[in-house]
Chains A and B, each alone.
Chain A
Amino acid sequence: QKEVEQDPGPLSVPEGAIVSLNCTYSNSAFQYFMWYRQYSRKGPELLMYTYSSGNKEDGRFTAQVDKSSKYISLFIRDSQPSDSATYLCAMSTGGMNRDDKIIFGKGTRLHILP
């Protein structure tokens, strides 16, 4: 079983719709959960960062973590064409040892249709 599973898409939604992006994971020791956004020909940039379970909201973006289900989500409200990008989930245990490195999902390609 892979450590992090993420549907690669592509996911196409009309402008203004609510977007839901998800990842599942197998390592119950993960405590830090991140979402990165990567535009074409650019490096990933950190979008949302969450520690342990719960929700975090930042503008149109909401990150949810359900540790009991080993499931994380990123919701985008009022989606815009500028949100079209690849979204990568990432997670780690938070330690400083070599086994504690960040594990990334494959990324989901998102297209917002004008």
Chain B
Amino acid sequence: ETGVTQTPRHLVMGMTNKKSLKCEQHLGHNAMYWYKQSAKKPLELMFVYSLEERVENNSVPSRFSPECPNSSHLFLHLHTLQPEDSALYLCASSQTTRWGGETQYFGPGTRLLVL
């Protein structure tokens, strides 16, 4: 497996469910990101981890909880979500967290639908 992988690719959940999204990067990068992509909106940065330490929490509601156990894996734990949280959740990685001058490699995303 190469690049950035995400599972599951699709997820339907009720507002009372708890689920987790998983991301794995096989590129030897030190930084990983969670983005939210909604229709007709720009990509929204949610969380950034650098060397397994969270360096950015972009005012995301506490119903989203990230976890980075090592530099290759990133999770997004979901609980008591709202229908407006339905979106494509993208994971990305880069060599460092220098924002410019760094290519971010994206996974295919998890399409989430909250009922």
Contact = CB atoms under 8 A, between A and B. Distances in A.
Contacts of B55: 98
A99 to B, nearest CB: 9
Interface in A4-45: 4, 8, 31-32, 36, 41-45
B21 to A, nearest CB: 13
Contact of A43 (B48, B56, B103, B108): B108
Given A101-B45, A105-B42, A106-B42, A43 B100 contact: no
A4 B42 contact: yes
Interface residues of B, number: 26
Nearest to A41: B108
B101 A43 contact: no
Instruction: Please indicate which of the listed interface residues B41, B56, B101, B107 has the most CB atoms of chain A within 10 Å of its own CB.
Output: B101
B99 A101 contact: yes
A54 B97 CA distance: 25
B4 interface: yes
Interface in B59-114: 90, 92, 96-101, 103-109, 111
Given A44-B90, A45-B106, A98-B56, A104 B43 contact: yes
Interface string A53-93: 00000000000000000000000000000000000101111
B108 to A, nearest CB: 5
Contacts of B108: 41-43
16 contacts: A36-B106, A41-B108, A43-B90, A43-B107, A44-B43, A44-B90, A45-B106, A96-B98, A98-B56, A101-B45, A102-B45, A102-B104, A104-B42, A105-B42, A106-B42, A107-B42
Interface of B: 4, 6, 40-43, 45, 48, 55-56, 90, 92, 96-101, 103-109, 111
